[in-house]
Amino acid sequence: MHHTDSIRTTTGRGRSTAPRLAGLPVDAVFLAAVFLAAVFLSGCSDDPAPGPTAGAGTASEQGQAPTAPRPPDHMLAADPRATPNWFEGPRADWPALVATHDADLRGFGTLDGGVGFLGRTREGELIAVTSNWYVSRDAGLSAEIDLAYFEQLVKRWELRAEERADGSRDPGAVRVTGRARSGLEVPGADLLLLSARTVDDAPPPCAILALSERVPAVGEQLVVVGAGGLVVDTRLHAYAPGAGLAFDLPAGTPVDGLLGGPVLDANGAAVACVTALDWDSDGDVPSAGETVRAVAQALRPFLLAPPPLIGTAVRLDNPGYDQVAFSKDGSLMFMGNAVLGGAAVVTWPDALPFAGADLPKGEGAGAFTDAGWLVTAGRGGTYSVFDTISRTSLVEGDTDLPVVTAICVLDERHAIFGSSFADRCLLVDLAVGATLEQFDFGATSFALSPDGAELAVGGADGAVFCLRVRRDSTGSLLTDPTELAGHAESVVALAWSRDGDLLASGSWDDSVRVSRRGSGEELWSVTGASDVNDVWFDDAARLWVATGSTEEVDGVRAPTACYVRVFRGLDGLELMRSHDQPTPVVALIDRTEALDESGTAGLDTRVLGLTVGPDHFRWTAPAP
């Protein structure tokens, strides 16, 4: 949620905390480095039901972040479930009880006092809902701790009933499992949806609410439910940024135990979760007669989002590298940054240093030949052929490009060089260092088809070309350029499907396009909330997309929409999406493994998402 400086939150103990700025509170030094890099680059049952929730995101982006003052029309659709108007019933029958958190975190002690509630989707999945920021802060953790890291800290996380005024307490508890949804395409969202199950088949400690996919209308009557049986009537005042709902609570409303509680509509269904409270006085609690303003996060974007892509944290030394290339046998990995001019080669999969000081200085773009030679290039247009066995440069040469930012090796002798700073690309004979051909379009990315017969070229101006690759000894090596549907900004990522039938392109105009080979027909496109930095097809024809950028929010540069997303290649249905990363995901590294030793269960796809920061994630998508 994009909060103003006056917004505060409270804990179950009545404490207050400093206001939260919109976006992620990234270290200032790191932000400065990211900003400089960005400037450079801009020029160049009770058991949860398995499977996706209703309305998984598609190429139409139904989970897109709304803008104030009104969410998109599709978010205002009515929930068709027929339930009685429970405002007319006795209050004693209202589902007024929410529960408190009890979590044991590795190395951080015990977290308690957080408020949450239980709900069930229309598919029957049982979910615990809580405020992300409130839960993590109370444990002494960063206010914007990364969700996947937070999951790894949890040894035990249960939802337990709050004692009622008469001292009674419902039996049982609900234990939260590892699957979670957070953020997605709602900027600054402060919400967690976690799959849940009852402990030892005990009755749940609080009512299980229906989770509504609708967003209430301005002026609509609502009920806010807090811990201890607190029920507050209100009406929706306005829409807040990021699918937020803003409303006032009556003067004298207790604030203890409201944060993290559900907002219910007239059908008794939860439509939102309270994520921020504010009042005019400076006290930890509002003064007598003082109106409390509240913001709640609408549940709809989360419930319609695709299921989470599961990831585990990986540490890898990566000082700003945004390019990745593997040797043919997969034993070596090149990482570099062409604009900043740094590179290193590590062994794989143990990621031990192999070559760094031995590489030519200032050459941060790289590609391996089939024989294992490494072709590097970079600032000043210089290039080298590096022998990974002798760790020496075999060939050194120059082009007339100001900076080489992309390389594609066509065979052991020929490579094509492109630059985001020039309107041309060059075909070079590596053996003699001669430029054979020049093409009058800039090139920021290349992709050679699996059969080696077509070369896709992405340009700094958004154009996408396909060229035929001749394998005989006569005539030009690259012929018949065909222009495909392009983008509005630099095309920084290209990928062919494994059968060579589909070509995907990703751009800094926040979009992905998929075209069919031969005809160039565009099959689908999708626009996200941030730069597209890398694309890759797996064996199941699923397209993996890495996104993320840094943007200025309230005067502070912060990461925006840093995800890994997985789409069905033929029609663009979004199948899975990762949690929001703390830094942009700049590259995807393919590491598919057979998880069943018998080989009969198929392959789970494991992909390493390389980020700007030191923390990376290995994402796992189950075999279809």
Q: Which residues contact 492 (CB under 8 A, 6 or more apart)?
A: 444, 445, 458, 506, 507, 508, 531, 532, 533, 534
> What is the C-alpha to C-alpha distance for residues 172 and 154, in angstroms, rounded to an integer?
20
How far, in Å, CA of 83 to CA of 364, rounded? 61
pLDDT at 611: 82
Q: What percent of the chain has pLDDT over 70?
A: 73
Q: How confident is the model at residue 198 (pLDDT cuts 50, 70, 90)?
A: confident
Burial class for 182, CB neighbours closer than 10 Å (0-12, 13-18, 19+):
buried
* Residue 605, number of CB atoms within 10 A of its CB: 22
Cis peptide before 349 (omega within 30 of 0): yes
- Quote the pLDDT of residue 171: 57
Task: Give the chain's count of helices (H) and strands (E).
Answer: 4, 43
**Cα–Cα distance, 191 to 348 (Å, whole number):** 37
Question: Looking at residues 213-227, what average pLDDT do you find?
Answer: 88
CA angle at 53 for the pair 48 and 58, rounded to the nearest 5°? 160
What is the Cα–Cα distance from 533 to 107, expressed in whole angstroms? 35
Per-residue confidence (pLDDT) for residue 553, from 0 to 100: 67
Q: Which of 566, 534, 538 is nearest to 547 (CA)?
A: 534
Confidence of residue 134 (pLDDT cuts 50, 70, 90): low
Provide CB contacts within 8 A for 290, sequence distance 6+: 251, 252, 279, 280, 281
Pairing of strands 382-387, 502-507: unpaired
**Burial (CB count within 10 angstroms: exposed 0-12, middle 13-18, buried 19+), residue 378:** buried
Higher pLDDT, 614 or 508: 508
State mean pLDDT over 578-596.
Answer: 70
CA distance 359 to 337: 13
Average pLDDT, the chain: 75
Q: What digits encode the pLDDT tens for the residues 236-272?
A: 998 887 678 999 998 888 888 888 899 998 888 899 9
Amino acid letter at 383?
Answer: Y
**What residue ranges do the domains of the chain occupy?**
53-303
- The pLDDT, as a whole number, for residue 458 is 93
Q: What is the pLDDT, as a whole number, of residue 208? A: 86
Q: How far apart are CA 599 and CA 50, in angstroms?
A: 23
Q: How far apart are CA 172 and CA 169, in angstroms?
A: 9
The maximal CA–CA distance of the chain, rounded, in angstroms, is: 92
Average confidence (pLDDT) over 456-475: 85
**Sheet of 332-337: strands edge to edge?**
323-326, 332-337, 342-347, 353-355
CA–CA separation, 116 vs 9, rounded Å?
15
What is the pLDDT, as a whole number, of residue 113? 59
Region 306-316 average pLDDT:
77
Structural contact between residues 237 and 222, judged by C-beta atoms closer than 8 angstroms = no
H/E run at residue 231: strand 231-240
What pLDDT does residue 7 have? 40
What are the pLDDT digits (tens) for 360-396?
A: 888 989 999 988 899 999 988 899 999 888 888 888 8
167 Cβ contact partners less than 8 Å away, ≥ 6 residues apart: none
pLDDT exceeds cutoff 90 at 578 = no
